[in-house]
């Protein structure tokens, strides 16, 4: 009997051909791009800004460095990194989705951020950059949408400089049962309704809730990073484990 496990993957709770997932995810983010920042604030009650601040603090980024903000979307982290690295540094805002990249580029240009930011449409599984190129890579709320996460992690390792670090900020598994139950109720009963009211797209936010549940938990992702070749991998739970920040180094 033919084993189809290598040919299929999950899109939320649905099983789809691996070749389909990229276009399905693209459809979600084409739909939500224009309202993405507003929905982030509403969905997280603004707490996503604190999660991203913690990621910045853990990045160790300094003036003159080269940073990859992968799946960087509308550019929240890119904007901060741009100011930190200064005119001698460089930040690459990369996203597989052209609609998100355009929203990010327009937003950052409206903020007056030009000169040290480059915009690249890129697939995390096959990054179009040289080996040993970046001092740090961040991927915030993007890894769960990648079809082949193991391949993507190996690709990130390749383009990191020795001594560089990867930071993965992603929704994860709440630490306590009561919080987990409340989070489930919010995700599947409130979040899609918000998506329908604010972004006129209930289905995309249903997928986002499902994609969070299908993402590897904290310890599983830690092991995946180690298997990809990262060292000294640690994670920090935030908001009771609703979000986790994983950090790993290349030596």
* Residue 124 marked as a ligand binder: yes
Q: How many helices (H) and strands (E) does the chain have?
A: 10, 9
5: in domain: no
Of 120, 212, 133, nearest to 169 by C-alpha is 212
| Domain interval for residue 144 | 12-175+207-249
229: in domain: yes
Count structural domains, the chain: 1
* Residue 123 marked as a ligand binder: yes
CATH code, domain with 25: 3.40.50.150
Which tens digits make up the pLDDT trace of 73-114? Answer: 889 999 999 999 999 999 999 999 999 999 999 999 999 998
122: in domain: yes
Q: Phi and psi at residue 142, in whole multiples of 5°?
A: -125, -30
Global pTM value: 0.88
196: in domain: no
Burial (CB count within 10 angstroms: exposed 0-12, middle 13-18, buried 19+), residue 87? exposed
For residues 205-234, average pLDDT: 94
* Residue 40 marked as a ligand binder: no
Which tens digits make up the pLDDT trace of 159-198? Answer: 999 999 999 999 999 999 999 999 899 888 888 888 788 7
49: in domain: yes
* Residue 131 marked as a ligand binder: no
186: in domain: no
51: in domain: yes
110: in domain: yes
Q: Phi and psi at residue 68, in whole multiples of 5°?
A: -110, 115
Cα 30 to Cα 242: distance, rounded to the nearest angstrom: 25
Cα 145 to Cα 214: distance, rounded to the nearest angstrom: 10
């Amino acid at each position: 009997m033919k084993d189809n496990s290598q040919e299929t993957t999950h899109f939320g709770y649905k099983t789809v051909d691996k070749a389909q997932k990229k276009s399905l995810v693209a459809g979600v983010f084409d739909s939500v791009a224009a309202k993405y920042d507003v929905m982030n604030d509403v969905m997280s009650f603004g707490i996503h800004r604190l999660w991203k601040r913690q990621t910045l603090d853990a990045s160790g980024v300094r003036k003159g460095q080269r940073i990859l903000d992968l799946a960087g979307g509308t550019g929240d982290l890119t904007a901060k990194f741009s100011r930190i690295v200064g005119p001698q540094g460089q930040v690459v805002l990369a996203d597989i989705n052209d609609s998100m990249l355009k929203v990010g580029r327009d937003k950052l240009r409206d903020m007056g951020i030009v000169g040290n930011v480059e915009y690249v449409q890129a697939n995390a599984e096959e990054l179009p950059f040289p080996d040993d190129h970046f001092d740090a890579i961040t991927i915030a709320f993007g890894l769960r949408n990648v079809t082949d996460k193991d391949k993507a992690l190996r690709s990130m390792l390749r383009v990191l400089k020795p001594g560089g670090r990867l930071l993965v900020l992603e929704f994860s598994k709440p630490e306590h049962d009561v919080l987990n139950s409340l989070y489930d109720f919010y995700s599947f009963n409130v979040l899609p309704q918000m998506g329908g009211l604010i972004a006129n797209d209930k289905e995309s936010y249903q997928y986002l809730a499902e994609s969070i549940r299908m993402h590897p938990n904290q310890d599983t992702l830690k092991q995946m990073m180690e298997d990809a070749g990262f060292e000294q991998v640690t994670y920090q739970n935030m908001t009771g484990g609703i979000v986790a920040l994983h950090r790993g180094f290349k030596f």
